[in-house]
Structure 1
Amino acid sequence: MTDERCPWCGDTPIYVAYHDDEWGVPEHDSGKLFAMLLLEGFQAGLSWITVLKKRAHYMEVMDGLAPEKIALYDEAKVEALLADPGIIRNKLKVRGAVKNAKAFLALEESPGAFSELLWGFTGGKTLDNGFRTMAEVPASTPESDAMSKALKKLGFTFVGSTICYAFMQAVGMVNDHLVTCPRYRELGGKVGAP
């Protein structure tokens, strides 16, 4: 077995750093999970590297992606964001971020509720897929289908099953590093899993 980084990140430095340091690392903090879900929603229909390159600017102009602040955005703030070339200026996505922040706050009345809900779809643990090729990696799974359905019922938007699965990969709910990638084992993957 050769130790080769997952091929999806190519050799672009920002993408390689994201793959090596963030992607697939289990995250349980509700606020950080919310921020990543928002970014995954902004990515819909685009490549992840597009969002990755704009992430720092999102953090700057959208109050660190803090739900308690985004939930209070008024029409003037929304219009200011839609005029900002540093973000993805999609009306539905920007308004959806406000809607999602409100849905998050309604759910997060008890601290950790958002994290508990999301991790509940994997039984509270990382699912180790043990894929050998990119062709094996699915776009969605029964778990992401269930997550999508639950989030929509709670009032979230831009949470289709494909977005939810990409989110699950990003926050370590699934270990989808290929078994030939050093990060697979570093993140607890067992060759021969599941």
Structure 2
Amino acid sequence: MSDPVELLERAVSYTRGALQSAGVCLSAPTPCSQWTLGRLLEHMSDALDAFIEASAGVVEVHPGPGRRDIPARSVGAHVEALQCKACDLLSAWSAAGTGCVRLAGTRIDPRLLLQAAALEIAVHGHDVAGTGPRGPALPGPLARDLLPVARMLVTPGDRGVRFGPPVPPATPAPSAVLLGFLGRTE
């Protein structure tokens, strides 16, 4: 497995390009049938906040949706904010120590947390790319490196809650296999 910070950097790089191809309407559907583009962008923002917070060693548990007012912004403003947070994320983890991260009383190895962050960021980048004009495809080498992470982290209990059932990949390409495992198609 590659260095987790480097894996995170590749996921962020891909997703920054994918954000540039986002649809222009916040109510646009995404590959996740229950999510609009606006909801996905807010989820991505919250996730980046949590991953940045984790670089200090502790993630505070916040209430679910509705814990804060969601500002009315354009897609472009959401994209710009996400790109700034992505830079902050990479900067925070490049400077972070190697101690465990505490989340709700559980200690998590930072390498695992960074791998989970890379998976989350890259897959949601794919989801955003699917809302507008043909965005960049998930790079094969990145997908290949994320597949073992997905297989380790996504459990049967996540199916129907966080992920759909696996979809048979149309091709043996690493991106098709990863996305299919996560209930998505290319």
Same fold (TM over 0.5): no
TM-score by length of 2: 0.28
TM-score by length of 1: 0.28
